[in-house]
Structure 1
Amino acid sequence: MDMNNEYVPKLCCENIKKLLRHDDVVISIENTATYEGKIIEIGAIFIKAYLPLAKIGSIYQIKPSDEFAEVISINEMSVTLLPFCDMSGMFLGQWLSFYQSEFFISVGYGLLGRVVNGLGHPLAAGDKLTNIPYQRSLFREPPDPLSRAIIDKPLSVGVKAIDGLLTCGVGQRIGIFAGSGVGKSTLLGMICNGAQADIIVMALIGERGREVNEFLALLPEETRLRSVFVVTTSDRPPLERMKAAFTATTIAEFFRDQGKHVLLIMDSVTRYARAARDVGLSIGEPDIRGGFPPSVFATLPRLLERAGPAAVGAITAIYSVLIENDDANDPIADEVRSILDGHIILSRKLAEENHYPAIDVGLSASRIMINVTSREQSNAAATLKSMIATYKDVELLLRIGEYKHGEDPQVDRAIHLWPQIQSFCRQPFDSVMEFNTTINELFRTVG
């Protein structure tokens, strides 16, 4: 019988189905043939392979090892993957086998008090996690804007300068912007200790290895037991450093969905962005702003918008941002500041004067403050900020003895109250101030 070429494959497939009498077996055979392939190129941080019908985000196992790689780019000829492991020992022709369609982590109350890596696995060798029965994808849509609860409750973080002058709300997203060596990690530790939250999720991304234990040692046991720590050090592959931000956010979302108020602290968004830059440049993206490719600025909103209040529960998020050369117009700092609900600026000048926390309250702002504070507190905070600005204007004249008292009553008042103002804005790193105590001290300071 004369058969055309298009009819033959269909007839063969039907005959195989009849012989095996089980469609699932045929599907399994097709998957095996379709979703496996070999490495055809190895780069500095990526591999390329021939993988027909691969999809963005799919996970492949690198045979014969137990390591995995994720699909990040596809063209007609090849697929680009980023391994979750070190590249050493990989070779051309090494086999890749389909593992799963996207990356999942296990979540549950068993994560409390534990330290996991950027992929959600225990950081300590030989450690095991229990009571984590739920599987969640790292990538979820942010809460619907119309379903978000209104932010109308203040959040006490135990730091006077923040609670009194830059009051945050439950569900707010705020950034801490600082150069290196001005007390950013210390301030984050103070917030961890003092924040009135049910659960704390702390992401340490791209940190120095020695700093991890140092930071954990600053936290009392009570704080550690209600916290989850996601840690990925600077030596880890860029894909893991990227995943760490989404892993921490996904864990925080799980607890928010249980009706909890979660404090998510990410240190730092800048190191996440640098890891994303490595990934983007490796697949040939151009750098468009300060050496960063467009994918970095596309993913930042998708990451940061996932925090905030939902119909049930809330995530209050604090993101630290490293400012290169103390330049507030750094592209990542500028982008993050435009997305968040407030910014806290740490001043190198204040740090050099041993003024800690080195918060420049004049340059900092909380966009939610007016919604969560009384009119009396808002007025007192505005008055104190005004006196700080007034004193700074005449500080040089005071130092060289050129200012004459009595010329300006507002300046005289700022000078008279300057010791009390400094006392209010300073705080030992191991102290936690109650919210009402802070507000009462603010009222006393401004009279």
Structure 2
Amino acid sequence: MVVFSFPIPVDDLPPLRQKLCPCPGRGMRCPRHRDVHPRIFIVRSSESHFPAVGCGRARGRQKGTDDGGHFPFLARSPAGAGHAMSHAVVTAVRGPVLDLRVEGELPAINDILEIPGPAGTVVAEVQAHLDAQHVRAIALQSTQGVARGGTARIPGGPLSVPVGEAVLGRLLNVLGATGDNGPALPADAPRAPIHRAAPSLASQTAQTKVFSTGIKVLDLLAPLAQGGKSAMFGGAGVGKTVLVMELIRAMVSGYDGISVFAGVGERSREGHEMLNEMRDSGVLDQTVLVYGQMNEPPGARWRVPLTALSIAEHFRDVEAKNVLLLMDNVFRFVQAGSEVSGLLGRMPSRVGYQPTLETEVAELQERIASVGQASVTAIEAVYVPADDFTDPAVAAISAHVDSTVVLSRQLASEGIYPAIDPILTTSVLLDPGVVGVEHATVAGRLREVIEHYQELRDVIALLGVEELGREERLLVGRARRLQRFLTQPFFVASAYTGMEGRSVPIAETVKGCKAILDGDCDDWDEGSLYMIGTLDEARTREEARRAKGKAA
């Protein structure tokens, strides 16, 4: 045991605190004082004295004078004031992971550090306290040019980004910097931190108002709740991004609201195309684009959804506007979190995901809520790896949504667009008390018919439809006509398809499906129902086909 002596009686001292010495450890020589010392030293300060002991020798200070020698974090502060916190020194660089020695009080978890580099300032977010002087941070930008010995500024607090009217029509990155070659944002633009708690249960408002999209299959089978969360699950190349873009157009053109789009870990080409298409279609002025592309560090892709969500929360809470928040792709958010977890040395869980998977998803999803008279309606695209819907990331995300939209690769291969699976697609709003008895009844009948048709597909493939009974042949015909009636051309894809987009009211969708289920269209050609809007348009096409046949 090491015995220390103080300039005042020990009995007069309050209980002492122990701290770890920053030197290498017991039995090592202190580089400043050149003597062997124990690993633990004792610290105590008050208004009348500041005894501090370390490095094997007792050092006392009277009247609150500073001790800025071997232990700079022991510097005395004025009464009631916190420790000064100004800078840190980079001690290790491992890709996007930075270790730093802090000269002062340690920054809190999720606080940012600013490290000057040859290509500009690199922003990193603190993720771990290694000991009393060292922190580990994840860079939100490339660390190229950052070296050991470099200094970092500690501004204090988490990352804050610009919000409000100034960001409308602009393309931002995770830090809130513009990326569209436009003018700089106003210096007095309000800012908001990206980390904040979810709204309390008492402040949230439950809404059952249906958000009409004009997309027949969505409005009929998976009505979206205004102020709710909906997710579109599908593998690669089945139409998730096109569906998201069409929903943006529907929100901006049909509602007095704001759209915030978060591009999480997607292709730069898609982001460029979306920016140009929104500008050409005139919806960009009421939209904010926040991108963290797949070529960016995992920290940027991990925090981009929070940047977009903070912007949406400002419009909801401060300006009382309804917001449509679209995220493409939430799976990339989970994937980036897995990369960060591995870089920080955490033990992976199932399938290599981070052990905090459920927590990270919940922290993001629970902030999406309706407060007061304004709402945030979230529509999320979720990539399903290898079309495996039992993947832990997919299961974690699906637990938080009100409407689940499943896109089918088989339907896409058959030319059924949007390729939404009518059996697996569900919504909590598909209830007679919300959508009405007729709507709920028609949706249930449609599912039964299509499910029966899918059961008969193997028999048809082996024996042919002629081997079925009369009732089954009628059912197969109605199922195929329903599938084609639920297709429609999108406005955002008109430049590629050559067909003008269609937006169909919910009442017309229910009316058309009911007519097909009742057999009113049994003698119609299936092609008359393909890629149209209302049933009246299909009737016109069918009459033209018959007239052409008679003329021939």
- TM-score, reference length from structure 1: 0.90
Which of the residues 334, 349, 372 maps onto 2:434?
Answer: 372
More helix by share: 1
Shift of 1:153: 1.0
What is the alpha-carbon distance in structure 2 between the residues aligned to residue 139 and residue 216 of structure 1? Answer: 27
Q: 1:13 aligns with which of 65, 68, 90?
A: 65
User: What CA deviation, in whole Å up to 9, does each residue of 1:112-154 have, x standing for no partner?
Assistant: 1111112221113463124973221112222222432222211
Q: Distance in 1 between matches of 2:92 and 2:192?
A: 32
Tell me the amino acid that sits aligned with residue 446 of structure 1: L
Percent of counterpart pairs with the same letter?
25
Residues 1:173 and 2:256 aligned together: no
How far, CA to CA, are the matches of 2:445 and 2:183 in structure 1? 53
CA displacement, residues 233-285 of structure 1 (integer Å, 9 cap, x when unaligned): 11112111112100111111111122222111100111111111111111111
Aligned partner of 2:336: which letter?
A
Deviates more, 1:245-254 or 1:289-298: 289-298
Change (3 A) 1:364 1:30: closer
State whether residues 107 and 136 of structure 1, in contact with CA within 8 Å, keep that contact through their aligned partners in structure 2: yes
CA deviations 1:401-421 (Å, max 9, x no partner) are: 355677473x34422313430
Q: Secondary structure at the match of 1:3?
A: coil
Letter in 1 for 2:61: P
Distance 1:139 1:91 in 2: 28
Q: In structure 2, what is the Cα distance between the partners aligned to 1:369 and 1:128?
A: 46
Which of 511, 531, 536 matches 1:440? 511
* Contact 2:465 2:473 survives alignment (8 Å): no
Gap regions ≥5 residues in structure 1: 15-23
Q: Does 1:216 align with 2:287?
A: no
1:352 alignment partner in structure 2: 413
Q: Residue 239 of structure 1: which of 299, 322, 329 is its match? A: 299
- For structure 2, the residue ranges without an aligned partner over 5 or more in a row are 1-5, 9-48, 52-59, 67-75, 492-500, 519-552
In structure 2, the CA distance between the partners of 1:116 and 1:396, relative to structure 1 (3 Å rule), is same
Amino acid at match of 1:208: R
**Inter-partner Cα distance in structure 2 for 1:30 and 1:146:** 34
Aligned equivalents of 1:252 and 1:10: distance in 2? 54
Task: Name the amino acid aligned to 1:388.
Answer: I
Q: 1:385/1:83 Cα in 2 relative to 1: closer, same or farther (>3 Å)?
A: same
State which of 143, 146, 151 in structure 2 corresponds to 1:87: 143
Q: 1:432, 1:132 → 2: CA distance?
A: 42
Partner of 1:67: 122
1:9 partner amino acid: R
Distance between the aligned counterparts of 2:313 and 2:470, measured in 1? 53
Among 105, 111, 114, the alignment partner of 2:170 is 114
Which residues of 2 match residues 189-338 of structure 1 at below 5 A?
Answer: 189-195=245-251, 196-197=254-255, 198-219=257-278, 221-257=281-317, 258-338=319-399
- The 2-side partners of 1:218 and 1:268 are apart by 19
Pick closer, same or farther for the CA change 1:295–1:217 going to 2, 3 Å.
same
**Within 2, Cα distance between the matches of 1:287 and 1:312?**
42
CA distance in 2, matches of 1:188, 1:407: 41
Residue 47 (1) aligns with residue 98 (2): yes
Q: Which amino acid in 1 is paired with 2:220?
A: G
**1:118-197 alignment, distance < 5 Å:** 118-125=174-181, 127-130=183-186, 133-195=189-251, 196-197=254-255
Question: Which amino acid in structure 2 is aligned with residue 205 of structure 1?
Answer: V
SS at 1:307 equivalent: coil
Deviation, 1:209, is 1.3
Matched residue SS, 1:308: coil
| Equivalent in 158, 166, 170 of residue 102 of structure 1 | 158
Q: Residues 316 and 132 of structure 1: is their aligned pair in 2 closer, same or farther, counting only changes over 3 Å?
A: farther
> Higher mean Cα deviation, 267-276 or 64-73?
64-73
CA–CA distance in 1 between the matches of 2:158 and 2:287? 27
Equivalent position SS for 1:147: coil
Checking the alignment, whether the CA contact within 8 Å between 2:416 and 2:484 is kept in structure 1 is: no
Q: Deviations over 1:324-357 (max 9, x none)?
A: 1111111110111112112111111111111111
Give the residue type in structure 1 aligned to 2:114: Q
Separation of aligned partners in 2, 1:154 and 1:126: 37
Q: Distance in 2 between matches of 1:159 and 1:347?
A: 17
Contact 2:88 2:153 (C-alpha < 8 Å) held by counterparts:
yes
**CA displacement at 1:440 relative to structure 2:** 2.8
Contact 2:205 2:370 in 1 (8 A): yes
C-alpha separation between the residues in 2 aligned to 1:30 and 1:152?
48
CA contact (8 A) 1:151 1:372 kept: no
Q: TM-score, normalised by structure 2?
A: 0.74
> Residue 382 of structure 1 corresponds to which residue in structure 2?
444
RMSD over aligned CA atoms reads 2.7
Contact map agreement 1:62 1:97 (CA 8 A) in 2? yes
**8 Å contact from structure 1 (residues 204, 232) kept in 2:** yes
Deviations 1:292-341 (A, max 9, x none): 11123211101011113222311110111111111111111011111211
Distance in 2 of aligned mates of 1:177 and 1:231: 21
Instruction: Decide whether aligned partners of structure 1 residues 125 and 216 sit closer, same or farther in structure 2, where only a CA change above 3 A counts.
Output: closer
Larger radius of gyration: 2
Mean alpha-carbon deviation: is it higher for 218-227 or for 73-82? 218-227
The question of whether the paired residues in 2 share the 8 Å contact of 1:182 and 1:358 is answered with yes
Shift of 1:192: 1.4
Q: Look up the SS of the partner of 1:13 in the other structure.
A: coil
